[in-house]
Structure 1
Amino acid sequence: MSSEEPESFTEDFFKICLNQILELSNKYQDGWKLHKKEEFGSVFITKKSRMTLSAPEEDLQDIHVTFEYHVTYHPSYCVPVLAFHIWKQDGTFLALEDFWKYCSHLKNSNMYDTLTQLDHPVLQRPILTLHPCKTHEIMRSFMKHSKNPVISWLSTVGYAVNLKLLKEYQNVC
């Protein structure tokens, strides 16, 4: 990111960051896909990832799920948003409260301050979301030093929802 780049995070700059993520994804066959909503001029990327959520407590069982991550721009907060759906093997959605039971690494957090269900900024339908209210604060430290603040931010917050980035992404920052 150049020193001329403003401290605010614009949707145009977000699109530049997404293009770089897509270039890396294509190079390393990592699975990110671009989606456009032409009538709004909005874009977002998605990636699916299958995994097993380990039961942190004896009364729970490990569960096999598919995450579909969405990285989009939130026009009200002027920040990127990490949103996601989680499906169980039978094709039903895993509810936020059920997902929270598997998040022992977040137990000291207030669930609804961290994860919530919001309308997708582009698709305008409910989706689980890392709440965007603290994103600007987190990103402030990346804005002047990172070549791609979206990658830096995803590298920082992705762990909360089991999103793992290849080290090649972090090498860009």
Structure 2
Amino acid sequence: MDVYSWGGAISSRDFYTAGRAFMERWNRLNPRMPPWTWVPSPKQHLGLAPSHQINGYLVLEKLCLPDLTHKDGPSQENLDELTSQSRKEEFTFSEEEEFVDNATLVESSNSVGGVHSYDFHIVYSASYRVPVLYFRAYLTDGQPLELDEIEKDLPSSSAKVLVESKWTFITQEEHPYLNRPWYKLHPCGTSEWMKLLFQSDTSLAKHGVSIELYLFSWLSVVGQVFGIRIPPELFNHQDHL
């Protein structure tokens, strides 16, 4: 698929392909990190799911966010791209960027008390035709954290955007598979900046749209909201060709 004629969205089958590739490679190259798993769901669970769709989602559980007190959070430029549909910004990712591994994951604790654990779900949106990051945070006893408590765990640049556009940047709605309220990063504009990501990488642009690399590129942006960096070796497209 040519990058320059591609709109940045993917089908549900592409999401399944991208999800399996992402899960396998992440778990193989990050054995010390919590693993991603694929959770299948029967079509009838969504009621109106067409027969050609593959239902399921990616799950990572019980992740403690890194201590961001003395670290730089995501750039304001990248976060602005998440909350707008600008087509003018370009994203570049350097292999020298710091990434989170098991050595830098710590127990996050603040005035609420106790360890803050996070569950992340990557769910396909049939409306936007892109992945959506759902998440929840809770204490060791299972007590859920409210948004103002979650905000204290985020990098300063993420917290700033959250304050300025709370209900467009992060929203709360029913999880499409679990039928319980979860927070999510709003997918508006995702296809636009995904297209820019692939176009700005000369190697990716040369080889066309690699579905197997789609979720790595996507999480390299949205993961920064929580201070999570993607190990650069995961972007080695040669292994996916």
The alignment's TM-score, normalised by the length of structure 2, stands at 0.61
2: CA distance between counterparts of 1:163 and 1:63?
21
163-172 or 109-118, larger mean C-alpha shift: 163-172
> What is the match of residue 157 of structure 2?
105
Equivalent residues in 2 for 1:52-63 (5 A)?
A: 61=111
Cα shift readout 1:22-51 (whole Å, capped 9, x = no counterpart): 211331334011100022531111112124
Instruction: Answer whether contact 1:55 1:63 (CA < 8 A) is retained.
Output: no
Equivalent residues in 2 for 1:5-154 (5 A)?
A: 6-7=6-7, 8-28=9-29, 29=31, 30=33, 31-40=35-44, 41-48=54-61, 49-51=63-65, 61=111, 64-103=115-154, 104-109=156-161, 110-143=165-198, 145=204, 147=210, 148-154=213-219
Gaps of 5+ in 1: none
- Provide the identity percentage: 24
Letter in 2 for 1:42: N
| Secondary structure class of the residue paired with 1:133 | coil
Instruction: Answer whether contact 1:114 1:130 (CA < 8 A) is retained.
Output: yes
Q: Which is richer in strand?
A: 1
2: CA distance between counterparts of 1:168 and 1:18?
17
**CA spacing shift, 1:116–1:63, aligned 2, 3 Å:** farther
2: CA distance between counterparts of 1:96 and 1:142?
29
**CA spacing shift, 1:52–1:85, aligned 2, 3 Å:** same
2: CA distance between counterparts of 1:66 and 1:74?
25
The structure with the larger Rg is 2
Gaps of 5+ in 2: 45-53, 71-109
Q: CA deviation at 1:131?
A: 0.9
**CA spacing shift, 1:46–1:162, aligned 2, 3 Å:** farther
69-78 or 104-113, larger mean C-alpha shift: 104-113
Instruction: Answer whether contact 1:66 1:86 (CA < 8 A) is retained.
Output: yes
**CA spacing shift, 1:136–1:160, aligned 2, 3 Å:** same
Cα shift readout 1:29-75 (whole Å, capped 9, x = no counterpart): 3401110002253111111212466679xxx6486211111111011
> What is the match of residue 95 of structure 2?
none
Letter in 2 for 1:79: V
Cα shift readout 1:91-113 (whole Å, capped 9, x = no counterpart): 21111122123332224321222
| Secondary structure class of the residue paired with 1:127 | strand
1: CA distance between counterparts of 2:230 and 2:198?
19
Q: CA deviation at 1:90?
A: 2.9
Query: How many residue pairs are counted as aligned between the two chains?
Result: 169
2: CA distance between counterparts of 1:46 and 1:136?
22
**CA spacing shift, 1:52–1:142, aligned 2, 3 Å:** closer
**CA spacing shift, 1:142–1:54, aligned 2, 3 Å:** closer
